[in-house]
Amino acid sequence: MTSIEPGSATVPTGEPVATDVVIIGAGPAGLFQVFELGLLGIRSHVVDTLGHPGGQCAELYPDKPIYDIPALPVCGAQELVDRLLQQIKPFEPQFHFGQEVAALQKRADGSFLLETSLGTRFIAKAVVIAAGLGSFQPRRLGVEGAEAFEDRQIHYRVRNAREFHGQRLVIFGGGDSALDWVLDLTGKASSIVHVHRRPEFRAAPASVARMQQLADQGRMTYVEGTAAALRTSNGRLTGVSVKRPDGTLAELEADHLLAFFGLHPKLGPIAEWGLELDRKALKVDTARFQTSVPGIFAIGDINTYAGKKKLILSGFHEAALAAFAIAEHLNPAKKVHLQYTTTSPIMQRRLGVSE
Ligand SMILES: Cc1cc2nc3c(=O)[nH]c(=O)nc-3n(C[C@H](O)[C@H](O)[C@H](O)COP(=O)(O)OP(=O)(O)OC[C@H]3O[C@@H](n4cnc5c(N)ncnc54)[C@H](O)[C@@H]3O)c2cc1C
């Protein structure tokens, strides 16, 4: 279900969400797109693979300062996301987190059918792809055969912690997610072995100290090493062999393996939607930021054009021009006039600031 040929859409049972615009990606560009559309009276739904807004800013460098946002001499990356969320609040964007837009099809009437990895479906008159470097995916456990057990006995995120109660768990990783789940599930799982490849941890020192305390008390076990091979029996995962730094193997029994090695962006399904690409970026025109398919726009790090710079402020400019183009696309008969937020009563009403 990845073609965008007109008329090829099959609408599965259940009502899709009908909306003017779906924005794919809640990074800084996608968030500001909500604002620019909102000023023109257009509401949007925003989908992101991550469980939270902010894209690279939130996922890769939340605590780092940014120095090149106009009029903000310095702004923390997470602070920028928080400010954007505050700015778009009047437009009440509908967020759909923790799901990847997996399919995009053009329908016979020119609208688009989108479907996410969780089965949420939308019918939108226009689509903005603000997908950055791609959707953030968990780094996988690099052992042969792991894929076959994914989501059944090997997990890269916890959807329902209760399913691990009373189970034998091996938890991999040295960051906050791994440590948080080790601490949370100790006492609830029937056994926990925590595995990390080196003595240094990225997680909060207090969490590491607590884990070491639990290990000293014999309430869980800590092993330094990396996964070497899966142990299976009759098609079920029964454990994992972990290679210690000295080359010896620790044979660990397990019902479930949980691995938290962080996330990395991957272009993913976007490459299959029939849009013109140039080295993994979507080609757009610089007047409308429209892709090779009318009605599908692309802003931020995901697009390319002569002189493109992958900067947050470029994404903001692109969002403004795309919003005007989308307004025209939605209503070709109506001319969209430039208005200033300073003086436009209608924009001030939309912003909720008029007296
Ligand atoms: C360490 C670091 C420091 C930086 N410092 C600066 C700086 O000082 N100044 C500056 O201007 N820029 C800086 N940048 C670059 C800046 O972060 C990016 O230009 C900016 O994040 C791009 O925004 P975006 O909204 O286009 O994409 P992103 O921030 O990448 O967000 C895209 C979002 O789309 C989601 N997505 C992708 N595909 C799908 C899909 N199919 N379905 C659902 N969701 C999807 C992703 O999960 C992601 O959350 C820095 C980058 C890094 C890594």
Identify the three-state secondary structure at position 307: coil
Is 136's C-beta closer than 6 angstroms to any atom of ligand 1?
yes
Ligand 1 centroid distance, CA of 173 (Å): 24
Could you write out the DSSP letters of every residue in 112-128?
A: EEEEETT--EEEEEEEE
Ligand 1 centroid distance, CA of 265 (Å): 9
Ligand 1 centroid distance, CA of 315 (Å): 10
Residue 58 alpha carbon, nearest atom of ligand 1: 29
* Residue 101: closest CA among 119, 122, 115, 120: 115
* Residue 254: closest CA among 171, 181, 317, 320: 171
Is 325's C-beta closer than 6 angstroms to any atom of ligand 1?
no
Mutation test residue for ligand 1: of 46, 48, 56, 112, the one with most atoms within 8 Å of CB: 56
- For residue 138, what pLDDT is reported? 87
Residue 268 alpha carbon, nearest atom of ligand 1: 41
Is 72's C-beta closer than 6 angstroms to any atom of ligand 1?
no
The residue whose CA is least distant from atom 8 of ligand 1 is 66
Dihedral sign for Cα atoms in the order 277, 282, 287, 288: positive
The residue whose CA is least distant from atom 15 of ligand 1 is 311
Is 132's C-beta closer than 6 angstroms to any atom of ligand 1?
yes
- For residue 263, what pLDDT is reported? 83
The per-residue pLDDT for range 289-340, each reduced to its tens digit, is 999 999 999 999 999 999 999 999 999 999 999 999 999 999 999 989 999 9
| 230-253: average pLDDT | 97
Is 36's C-beta closer than 6 angstroms to any atom of ligand 1?
no
Residue 50 alpha carbon, nearest atom of ligand 1: 47
Ligand 1 centroid distance, CA of 234 (Å): 43
The per-residue pLDDT for range 250-291, each reduced to its tens digit, is 999 999 999 999 888 888 899 999 999 999 899 999 999 999
The residue whose CA is least distant from atom 27 of ligand 1 is 132
**Which contacts (CB < 8 Å, 24+ apart) does range 117-123 have?**
117/49, 120/17, 120/47, 120/96, 121/11, 121/12, 121/14, 121/16, 121/17, 122/16, 122/17, 122/18, 122/19, 122/22, 122/45, 123/16, 123/17, 123/18, 123/19
- For residue 14, what pLDDT is reported? 66
pLDDT higher than threshold 70 for residue 3: no
The per-residue pLDDT for range 181-211, each reduced to its tens digit, is 999 999 999 999 999 999 999 999 999 999 9
Is 49's C-beta closer than 6 angstroms to any atom of ligand 1?
yes
pLDDT higher than threshold 90 for residue 59: no
